């Protein structure tokens, strides 16, 4: 089991992305309500942490958890698609009503962090595909003949 530090770096980046998402919403002025609104947003945004967990488990044991890679890829594509309306919203706020945002200058860097982390994570997932150097298609494993178990089991009874 060879651990790849790029997956651990992606885990840390996904954690930073979660906090950048919270800060983006705060900078847009969408949390001018009570403190309970921020708490509710944290619960609503918590599923974003699944990406951090996914990269952590890929770092921990890539072969064991590689079945979840396509799901992470799909999630990253959906995350990028969901950022498009947010970018339009931020652009409209900056152009038309800059007073609506609590800190208009901070929204763009947070949005940039979200896009960069999503693109980087998608690139890592796509480029770290199947094991490199397998040398072509594998032959399918033959099932054991009847009455014969796998050869790697040691004999216990004498």
Per-10-residue mean pLDDT of the chain, 158 residues long, equals 86 92 76 64 82 93 91 93 83 66 70 91 87 50 62 64
Q: Can you give the pLDDT at residue 136? A: 46
Q: Give the per-residue pLDDT at 24.
A: 80
Q: What is the pTM of this model?
A: 0.68
Closest CA to 110 of 101, 123, 97: 101
pLDDT in tens, 134-153: 444 555 666 656 666 666 66
Q: What is the dihedral of CA 37, 42, 45, 49, to 10 degrees?
A: 180
Please say whether the beta carbons of 61 and 1 come within 8 A.
yes
Which residue in the block uniquely carries the two structure tokens 């940039």? 112
Query: What confidence score (pLDDT) does residue 135 get?
Result: 44
């Amino acid at each position: 089991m060879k651990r790849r530090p790029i997956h651990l770096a992606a885990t840390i980046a996904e954690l930073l992305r979660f906090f950048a998402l919270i800060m983006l919403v705060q900078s847009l002025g969408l949390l001018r309500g009570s403190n309970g609104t921020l708490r509710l947003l944290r619960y609503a945004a918590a599923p974003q942490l699944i990406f951090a967990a996914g990269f952590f488990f890929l770092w921990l044991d890539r072969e064991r958890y590689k079945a979840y890679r396509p799901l992470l890829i799909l999630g990253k594509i959906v995350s990028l698609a969901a950022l498009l309306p947010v970018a339009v919203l931020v652009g409209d706020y900056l152009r038309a009503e800059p007073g609506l945002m609590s800190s208009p200058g901070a929204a763009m860097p947070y949005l940039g962090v979200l896009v960069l982390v999503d693109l980087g994570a998608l690139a890592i997932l796509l480029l770290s595909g199947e094991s490199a150097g397998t040398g072509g298609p594998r032959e399918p494993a033959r099932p054991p003949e009847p009455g014969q178990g796998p050869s790697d089991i040691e004999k216990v009874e004498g």
